[in-house]
């Protein structure tokens, strides 16, 4: 090879090296966005009666994440699914985000008798019912929750199945801490999914522990309208109970634990 040709090749190589940009250092990933899916006990302004509030908007106070509250009053797992609200959240989430799913207050009743569009079919698996109003095939609470969780994890999100908040457990003047069946159904769904991306938090029990600690009068003061919806003060307390359950790994470690700041102690 002539020296002139060799020099040309070397020169071209040098130009290519200069022209190829170096890969920039990747910036650390920002904290994830947490999407909240639930009913009025989680939603902003609660029951929209001017006196109640949902716990979702208070959670950001105790965490470093960005919180997007997608909870809507009056919804059940079934109606949230049928209205496309789970799909709406799935369209927003990015890999690494976290979705909290909490239903139960509006999921009772029977689709077979005067169907209200919210009731799930009784059962914990693939049982189905037919709505006496629309002829719709209705699935179980567990089924709807599982399908919702799969939507989110397919986008790379992690999911926390959170049990419903309790009603006023001191309403009768005596503490009654028994949990509704939908609390257990959330755990059933988490176990059925058998995925490290889906965890369970017993929010019901965390709040029940708090109510037992603060007693009759203090708990009753948190329910200004009915036995389900809390005052803003109550909503904040319910958010604190959720935060403490996450921070203390009450039901095992969740994807939210590393984002808790100034963890409260309410039970």
40 is catalytic: yes
For residue 15, give Cα distances in angstroms to 7, 8, 10, 98. Answer: 12, 11, 9, 46
**What is the 3 state secondary structure string of 170-223?**
CCCCCCCCCCCHHHHHHHHHHHHHCCCCEEEECHHHHHHHHHHHHCHHHHHCCC
Please pick, among 95, 113, 226, 249, the residue that the annotation labels catalytic.
226
CA angle (209, 100, 151) in 5-degree steps = 145
229 is catalytic: yes
226 is catalytic: yes
Q: What would the two tokens of residue 46 be?
A: 């609660």
Please pick, among 40, 63, 76, 131, the residue that the annotation labels catalytic.
40
Q: b/e map of 63-80 (b: 16 or more CB within 10 Å)?
A: bebebbbbbbbebbbbbb
Length of the chain: 267
Enumerate the β-bridge partners of residue 202. none
102 C-beta neighbours (distance < 10 Å), count: 28
Closest alpha carbon to 164 in 241, 102, 212: 102
Please pick, among 105, 115, 202, 229, the residue that the annotation labels catalytic.
229
As annotated, the active-site residues are: 40, 226, 229
């Amino acid at each position: 090879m002539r020296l002139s040709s060799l020099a040309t090749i070397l020169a071209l190589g040098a130009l290519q090296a200069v022209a190829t940009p170096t890969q920039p250092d990747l910036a650390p990933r920002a904290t994830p966005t947490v999407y909240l899916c639930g009913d009025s006990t989680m939603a902003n302004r609660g029951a929209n009666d001017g006196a109640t509030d949902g716990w979702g908007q208070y959670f950001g106070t105790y965490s470093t994440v960005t919180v997007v509250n997608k909870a809507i009053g009056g919804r059940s797992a079934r109606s949230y699914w049928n209205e496309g609200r789970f799909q709406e959240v799935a369209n927003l989430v990015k890999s690494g985000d976290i979705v909290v799913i909490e239903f139960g207050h509006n999921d009772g009743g029977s689709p077979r008798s005067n169907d209200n569009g919210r009731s799930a079919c009784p059962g914990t698996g693939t049982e189905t019912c037919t709505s006496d109003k629309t002829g719709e095939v209705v699935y179980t609470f567990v089924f709807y929750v599982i399908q919702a969780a799969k939507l989110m994890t397919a986008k790379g999100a992690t999911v926390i199945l959170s049990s419903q908040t309790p009603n006023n457990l001191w309403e009768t003047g005596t503490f009654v801490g028994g949990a509704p069946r939908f609390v257990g159904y959330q755990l059933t769904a988490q176990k059925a999914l058998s995925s490290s991306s889906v965890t369970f938090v017993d929010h019901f029990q965390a709040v029940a522990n708090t109510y037992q600690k603060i007693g009759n009068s203090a708990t009753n003061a948190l329910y200004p309208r009915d036995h389900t919806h809390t005052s803003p003060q109550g909503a904040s307390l319910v958010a604190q109970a959720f935060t403490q359950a996450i921070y203390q790994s009450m039901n095992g470690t969740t994807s939210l634990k590393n984002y808790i700041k100034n963890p409260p102690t309410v039970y």
